[in-house]
Amino acid sequence: MLSINDKAPEFVLEGYIKDEIKTFKLANYKNKWVVLFFYPLDFTFVCPTEVKALSKQYDDFKRLGAEVFGISVDSVYSHRSWSKEMGELNFPLLSDFQKRISHQFGVLDEEGGFAMRATFIIDPEGKIRWLNVSSDDVGRNVDEILRSLAALQTGKLCPAEWAPGEKTLN
C-alpha cells in the first residue's frame, strides 16, 4: 500500500456524473487538493450511506478547494444506474473496471476482486498526505475527512480534537 508523502499514481478513468460519462485524469487536478475514496461495490449496504453523506457535504469540500472522486471496480453503467437510484451526486463516480488503479493504490482486495474502503487526501503537488483504510463493515466519517483536510491545509501542527478555527501548535 502507498504511504504518506508517496506520489499518488496517475490515473485516467471513465466516470459518471449528472447524466454524463466523461474521462477523468488525476493530472487535470494538479495544484488542487483531491479527496479520492475507494469503496467496495455499487448496490451494497454501507456504500450508499457513505456516498450520499459525501455528496451532502460536497460544498464543504469545495469551500476547502478540494475535488472529490469516488472509485470502485464497477462499470460506469453500473455507476449511472446506482446514481439514479440514490439521487444524482455532486461528484463523479469513477470506474476502475480493470482494477489497475485500486491495485496501484494498494487497496485491491485480490481475493474478493473489489476495492477496500479507503480514503486518500492528495495535496496540490500530487503527494498523499492522509489515508485511511477500514473494514468493509464500517462507513467513513465525512466530518473527520473534512477536519483532516482543513488541518493539512494549515501547514501547521494540529493537536488531537483540533477543529478549524482553533489554535494550532505552531
Active site residues: 47
Angle in degrees, CA 102, 127, 39, rounded to 5: 30
Taking each helix axis from N to C end, the angle separating 76-86 and 47-56, rounded to the nearest 10 degrees, works out to 70
For residue 7, what is the DSSP state? B
Instruction: Decide: 135 and 117 in contact? Cβ < 8 Å.
Output: yes
Q: Which residues contact 144 (CB under 8 A, 6 or more apart)?
A: none
User: One-letter amino acid identity for 117?
Assistant: R
